[in-house]
Structure formats: C-alpha cells, structure tokens
Amino acid sequence: MGMAVIKRSLLLGRGLSTGGARSSHNRKTPMQSSNALTAPHVFVAIATAGLVGEVAFEIYAWLISPHLFDVVLQPSNLVIALAAKLAGLQLTHAIAFPVHFLIGSLGFGAFVYGISLLFSAERVWLPGLVAGVILWFVAQGILAPFIGRSFMMDFGAYTQSSFVGHVGMTLLMARVLAVVLSYFRGRGVGPRGWGDTDHGGNSL
C-alpha cells in the first residue's frame, strides 16, 4: 500500500513537471510578446530613407548630372505633363516640384521597403538595385511614351543619367532604411530580420 502511494506520487510529480515545462516553453516573455515593429516605426524608417534618397537625387539632378551627361534631370516636367493629360490641370514648376518631391520621399521609399520584403536581411543593396531599375523603366519606358515622348527617350543622355539617378537614389534609400530598421530592432522593438546590418549587410 505504501509503495503504491509513493509510486503514484512520483508519477503525479513527473506529470506536473512535464506540464510546467511545456507551459513555460509555450508562454511568451514580455520581450517576445512586444517584439514587433509597429506601423510608426516602419513609417519613420520609410520617411527617413525616402527623404535622404530624394534629396540626394535632386543634388545629382541639378549639380552632378550636367557635368556627367550635359543634362539637368527635371522629373517635375513629367508631373506637369501627366497632370495636363490625365486631369487637364496646368501645373507650374513651383507646384510640380514639391509634388514630385513628396512622391519621391514617401512613395519611392515605401516602394523600396516593399521590394525589401522579398529579400533576405543579408541582401541590403539588392532591393535598392531592383527598385531603381523598375522606377527608371516606368519613368522612361512607360510614362515618357504615355505623354508623347519616344520609348526610353531613344536611350539618349537623359535616359542614361536618369538610370544613374534612380538607381543611385534607391540604393541609398535601401541602405538608410536598413540602418533605421536595425536601430529600432537594436532597441528591442522588433525581431531580427530585414534591416539588420551586423551580419553581412554590406553584401548583395
């Protein structure tokens, strides 16, 4: 009788120990339960990367491109032409420039972020390259013919400079995006993933 009670107690204790371990394993720690990037974190990363990239693009378009390709990139002209064709609006450069700047800062930044979700964390620069080529082709291969210009503008100096500008801009956006996301994750607000820069982030 005494042996039966002891045996039953041992079995009960083992069951409680196993169940407790399983429960402890499945229970999330406070860090795990809150370890996710919030929408404001992502927005700040996108806005920061977009702003840096767009400012760099404008510097290239107005100051560097004329020396390299003998052309000034003015994408605001595309905004003016699209507004006139699609909505019959006559925009001035004073309006078209900030419109394009806003699109470039937030829209292109968000596009780079979206492309980055398709790649692993180690491929920091690749999303920027892919996004830049796509944006360049959309501008020169789709929108330019849509407003009456030749396809890829005959691959002339403007298109060549546009390629450098778009790809350079999105490469910079991708890098800044990775740095900002890594900063947030370093503060314990997000899981390891795309944007971490301490494990080969400089590679393609």
Task: Look at 32 and 74; give whichever has higher pLDDT.
Answer: 74
Q: How far is Cα 73 from Cα 66, in angstroms, rounded to an integer?
A: 8
With respect to residue 201, please indicate whether it lies within any of the assigned structural domains: no
With respect to residue 20, please indicate whether it lies within any of the assigned structural domains: no
With respect to residue 33, please indicate whether it lies within any of the assigned structural domains: no
Of 31, 37, 68, nearest to 194 by C-alpha is 37
Express each pLDDT in 131-182 by its tens digit.
999 999 999 999 999 998 989 888 899 999 999 999 999 999 999 999 999 8
| Residue 9 confidence (pLDDT) above 70 | no
With respect to residue 129, please indicate whether it lies within any of the assigned structural domains: yes
Q: How many domains does the chain fold into?
A: 1
User: What DSSP string describes 106-162?
Assistant: IIIHHHHHHHHTTS-TT-SHHHHHHHHHHHHHIIIIIIHHHTTPPGGGGG-HHHHHH
What does the block give as tokens for 32? 């795990």
pLDDT score, position 187: 72
With respect to residue 27, please indicate whether it lies within any of the assigned structural domains: no
Range of the domain at 160: 39-186
With respect to residue 167, please indicate whether it lies within any of the assigned structural domains: yes
